[in-house]
Amino acid sequence: MNSGKIGIFDSGVGGLTVVRAVNNLLPHESVVYFGDTARLPYGSKSPETVIRFAIEDAEFLLGKGLKLLVVACNTASSVSLPALREFADVPVIGVIEPGAKAAAGITESGIVGVIGTLGTISSGAYQKALKSFESVKRVIAQPAPLLVPLVEEGMLEHNITDLILKEYTAPLVNEGIDTLVLGCTHYPLLKDALSRLLGEGIRLIDSAESTADEVASILDTEDIISDNIQGENSFYVSDIPLKFQEIAQRFLGKTIPLVTQIEVGDLH
């Protein structure tokens, strides 16, 4: 198990921020990533369909020799974890619980904000997870659907992005939040812009970093930390590998190896 890989999947490219966080925290671990780009977005699909897709994604990655599986998709995290934990013979974690736990641990006022895609916010998954902690008194959730395309276009330091961030966060600031959960795996790339906008009075919770912390904790508890000197990344997608590679290099800040395209029908 120590030589096994960490598997990470998402419906698209957003989960690459989790890859980056895992690489930074655990550089000796090897990561295999699958982006189901042929069937995105998962947020518009029924729970039954998302669960089926998630199991197919997991089955493909488990065939690569995993020791742990990360569901780096907020939609899949909100509906498929019980089924995946029953299906897989390795630990399975999502991105919602680690982010909620981190926010609950640092909030002082107990008023926590969440921004995410419309599907994630509508699911109520972050709201439910946050409210399970006694330290959280109120949760203010705000859909921020325009942020994903801005991130994927690389418009991280742009006046338009700043204006949209201000529009989305103003209601949260007015409610007196002291902690903001970035409830989409694309959003960590906007941390610098959000920090400038919100100032030091509001703490940002990067769900990708929180998830990497949870991965490290599980590897330590299960005693399956790799003894590699340096881990390797490998990437698979179900469509448009060249576009994925372009965005991935922007997300990760480095050149990545060849991206392999897998037909959806070959996931089994």
Active site amino acids: 73, 184
Q: Is 89 exposed, middle or buried (0-12, 13-18, 19+ CB in 10 A)?
A: exposed
Which of 95, 132, 83, 92 lies closest to 112 in space, CA to CA? 132
Please name the residue that has the structure tokens 């096994």: 4
Long-range contacts of 42-49 (CB under 8 A, 24+ apart): 42/11, 42/73, 42/75, 42/76, 42/119, 43/74, 43/75, 43/117, 43/118, 43/119, 43/120, 44/119, 45/75, 47/79
Please name the residue that has the structure tokens 């469509």: 239
Beta bridge partners of 259: 235
